[in-house]
Structure 1
Amino acid sequence: MGGNIEVVVLGGGYAGVMAANRLTRRDDVTVTVLNPRPEFVPRLRLHQLVGGTHDAVVGFDEVLADGVRLVVDSVTRIDAVARTVTLAEGGSLGYDHLVYAVGSGSAGPRVPGAAEHAYPVATYEAAQRLRSVLLDTPKTAPVTVVGGGPTGIETASELAEQGRAVTLVCGGVLGPYLHARARRTARKYLAKLGVEVVEGPGTAVTAVTGEAVELEDGRTLASRVTIWTAGFGVPDLASNSGLRTDADGRLLTDETLTSLDDERIVAAGDSSAPSGLPFRMSAYAAGCLGAHAADTVLSRIAGERPRPIDLAFPAMCVSFGRRAGIFQLANKSDVAVPVYFTGFAGKKLKEFSCEASVKHLVTEARKPGSHHWPKDGKHRPRLLRARQDQIPVA
């Protein structure tokens, strides 16, 4: 390919920024990042934005490599044939290669009344709105957090630490990823903060009103502010553009992260579904997938065969306010093991992880190609072999 090579990155989150920075390894590549807001949002901090202990923004000038162009806009359609993207503010942008890293948010809740009366927290704008609502709500008013995963736990803890009356409705087990021993510790931390944990059979939410939450087992919980952290959703840009997606709307790719419909489109982060088996949602995975997506593009530009993704998950972590945390270790197949750090050590490791998620981007901006990650080599190939007849190949 002669002349300058235009690569457009859709999304300025962990995956998109990592991919954009890594793509600057070639001098003949021009990189443009399209993002709907002018600042980078470290999503790991959104529960702190709700609680008022972090502003959850970092300037793109801190995390993007010099020379990467930032366009603040949204994309309404991808034309894979013409190799253009249509901008929400008007006009279009052409590309030679496209990195699809549009991220994720909360799925539109299907529970009656949730859309009208519950507040999501998965995006910067949603967290800001919830923060404003809480500032106008007396601290004595009951708050209900729906969802027993990390976001639910961290949001409930952050608010309870401020003295709010918080109930955490899990709709199942608390912290399903955690090892059973770590889960017991999590319950103790939440109890110490004053969070009432509602978990087990019958705790799924069936309706939300302006003043209450109704559960499957017939209970009604008073709730002046209901916070919705359950579910998962991605933008419908790929499906609306005629690209194949999985049931949740993630772009379907092969193991090199290349779209099944066009080898000039690669996907990374929460909005990607390699072989229909997406990786667990996390900032860590997003950064690694973003780096691999860039490597796939660079391989194609060089006329080389891209490598399949190889990624191991060493741990996950969750905070309980500003004073405690759990750092849960895992084996390479992403299953929690009975080894974890708690208390002050867990808190420090959690904070280190949050800081590292941004530091990796800064390091890649200064030294493209420097980001490395633990490999698995066995678990994912085993999963793929188990469903060999269903593996999509680009």
Structure 2
Amino acid sequence: MAENTDVVVIGGGYAGVMAANRLTRRGDVSVTLINPRQTFVERIRLHQLVGGSDDAVVDYPKVLADGVRLVVDTVTRIDAAGRHVELASGGSVGYDHLIYAVGSGSADPRVPGVAEHAYPIAVLEDAERLRQALAAAPAPAAVSVVGAGPAGIETAAELAEAGRTVTLVCGGVLGPYLHPRGRRTVARRLAELGVSVLDGPDTTVTAVTRDAVRLADGRELPSEVTVWAAGFGVPDLAARSGLSTDALGRLRTDETLTSVDDERIVAAGDSVTPSDLPFRFGCQAAVQLGPQAAETVLSRIAGERPAPVEVGFAGLCLSLGRGVGVFQFSRRNDVAIRLHVGGRLGAKLKELVCRSTVRQLAYEARRPGVRTGWVKDGKRQDLLRAKHGETPDAAARTPGPPGEA
């Protein structure tokens, strides 16, 4: 009888669920998914939770394969030498192979006053606290949203449509990922909703107080509720466990998503930086990286050589209230192009993406390994050669700013 292989997946987000589901295609693999919550969080709907139009959670039985054991707990340390993970509850779980998919959260706030007076929105608990703060604030209260990436734009639009007085503080360019044509469409919609957009280099926030936001140019904006959507960070679990990470804390891997320290540890999602060329944060990369991380593990179990990572992008979608949206198309290597769709059709495309992402998880749970039809970026190898000085004239791409889709 064949020996059973134990695989632990840390993190039950988009990448972790996809990885766990894909692993079940081998009957001699036991899969344990460790996650701090007992429900799956649709991060691309957290702005809707804040606005009151969605709860942004899905029950795990709807997206997780029956053969996956779910452990609701938090991993506090990875013991690579001992091949086990230590849990906040005091126990531990052993593994033969580990998939590190801890995802991302709010960036560590280094601006004075942010930790005390601002409300992040990167994870479920943050969004729930923000919703409670808004419910306690009077309707005319000034609301500032700091950060003009997808999370900031969508939250500002959602709150303005609900009747809030909103100022979006960009700290630079509105929607840095967007093509100028798409950016103008977003700006027009925000103006229609009554959002005051402050952009440019002088709009960097230097301090947050209980009732104001201070900018680099000396202005002080009244703000009874300040939403902090200025970037993402990753948990420090890998670094605390003695594994190699980049400056942001992402686990460093080779092109097969295998840790540079230990071939039994593989990573996926926002918390991985393969060859120090990470992909944009968000579910679009995560749902592709999860299955590929699982395939790396399955290849090693089978004694085969793992394949290098392949990820491609279609663009970025934004909701601008419940009835309007923008779908910004991109090249497969994640560079925005002129083409975008706005208005009601843009909103329908955004909702289609949200629903289809959950459906992808559920489909992988039912038929692991069947779906392989994502578009791929054929230029990554050029980037790798350029990075190593083999083709200095290769066109390089800088990864876009953090996003949700």
Give the counterpart letter for 2:83 in structure 1. Answer: R
- Deviation track 1:21-63 (CA, whole Å, cap 9, x = no partner) reads 0000000000000000100001001011111110011000100
Q: Does 1:40 align with 2:40?
A: yes
Superposed CA deviations along residues 61-120 of structure 1, whole A, max 9, x for unmatched, are 100001110000000100111100001001110000000000000112111111100000
Shift of 1:263: 0.5
Aligned equivalent of 2:274: 274
Alpha-carbon distance, 1:15 to partner: 0.3
- Which residue identity is paired with 2:192? K
Residues 252-267 of structure 1 mapped to structure 2, 5 A cutoff: 252-267=252-267
- Structure 1 window deviating more from structure 2 (372-381 vs 322-331): it is 372-381
Structure 2 equivalent of residue 73 of structure 1? 73
Residue in 1 aligned with 2:366? Answer: 366
Task: Using the TM superposition, give the Cα deviation of residue 371 of structure 1 relative to its aligned residue in structure 2, in angstroms.
Answer: 2.7
Quick one: distance in 1 between partners of 2:219 and 2:19?
47
Cross-structure match for 2:103: 103
Match in the other structure for 1:62: 62
Corresponding position of 2:6: 6
Residues 347 and 377 of structure 1: CA distance in aligned 2, closer, same or farther (over 3 Å): closer
Equivalent position of 1:296 in the other structure: 296
Change (3 A) 1:322 1:191: same
Could you say which residue in structure 2 is the equivalent of 1:189? Answer: 189
Distance in 1 (alpha carbons) for counterparts of 2:104 and 2:92: 23
Mapping for residues 144-163 of structure 1, pairs under 5 Å: 144-163=144-163
Kept after mapping to 2: 8 A contact 1:6/1:29:
yes
Aligned ranges for residues 349-364 of structure 1 at < 5 Å? 349-364=349-364
CA offsets per residue over residues 210-250 of structure 1, 9 Å max, x none? 11000001111100000000022111000000000000000
In the aligned structure 1, how far is the partner of 2:72 from the partner of 2:119? 26
1:377–1:114 Cα change, 3 Å = closer
Inter-partner Cα distance in structure 1 for 2:363 and 2:125: 28
Question: In 2, distance between residues paired with 1:379 and 1:7?
Answer: 32
Aligned to 2:176: 176
- Asked whether the 8 Å contact 1:46–1:121 carries over to 2, the reply is yes
Alignment correspondent of 1:24: 24
Tell me how far apart the structure 2 counterparts of residues 173 and 28 of structure 1 sit (CA, whole Å).
Answer: 51
Q: Quick one: distance in 2 between partners of 1:315 and 1:333?
A: 10
Code of the aligned partner of 2:190: L
**Aligned mates of 1:13, 1:311 — CA distance in 2:** 18
CA–CA separation in structure 1 for the residues paired with 2:373 and 2:253: 21
Per-residue deviation at 1:389?
Answer: 6.3
User: Residue by residue, what CA displacement relative to the aligned partner does 1:267-307 show, whole Å, maximum 9, x if unpaired?
Assistant: 00000010111100111110100010001001000000000
Q: In 1, are the aligned partners of 2:266 and 2:293 still within 8 Å (CA)? A: yes
- Output the amino acid matched with 1:331: R
Q: Tell me, in whole angstroms, the C-alpha distance in 2 between the residues paired with 1:282 and 1:192.
A: 28
* CA displacement at 1:377 relative to structure 2: 5.0
Name the residue aligned to 1:343: 343
Task: Give the AA of the match of 1:255.
Answer: E
Q: Secondary structure at the match of 1:152?
A: helix
Determine whether 1:283 maps to 2:272.
Answer: no
Normalised by the length of structure 1, the TM-score is: 0.97
Counterpart position of 1:385: 385
Count of residue pairs the alignment pairs up? 390
Contact preservation (8 Å) 2:101, 2:269: yes
> Which residue of structure 1 lines up, in the alignment, with residue 396 of structure 2?
none
Unaligned runs of 5+ in 2: 391-405
Within 1, Cα distance between the matches of 2:116 and 2:27? 50
Structure 2 counterpart of 1:229, one-letter code: A
Instruction: Measure how far apart 1:311 and its partner are.
Output: 1.2
Amino acid at match of 1:370: V
C-alpha distance after superposition, 1:133-189 (max 9, x if no partner): 110001100000000000000000000000000000000000011110110010000
Aligned position for 1:308: 308
Question: Match of 2:120?
Answer: 120
Counterpart residue number, 2:226: 226
- How far did residue 378 of structure 1 move? 3.0
Measured after TM superposition, the shift of residue 207 of structure 1 is 0.6
Contact 1:23/1:368 (8 A) holds in 2? yes
Aligned residues of 1:161 and 1:321 also touching (Cα < 8 A): yes
Counterpart contact for 2:122–2:232, Cα < 8 Å: no
Q: 2:151 matched to 1:142?
A: no
**Paired residues of 1:311 and 1:373 also in contact (CA < 8 A):** no
1:237 alignment counterpart? 237
Paired residues of 2:2 and 2:28 also in contact (CA < 8 A): no
User: Which AA in structure 1 matches 2:280?
Assistant: R
SS in 2 for 1:202: helix
The separation in 2 between residues aligned to 1:308 and 1:377, in whole angstroms, is 12
TM-score w.r.t. length of structure 2:
0.95
Shift of 1:2: 4.7
* Structure 1 residue matching 2:137: 3-state secondary structure: coil
2:400 is matched with none
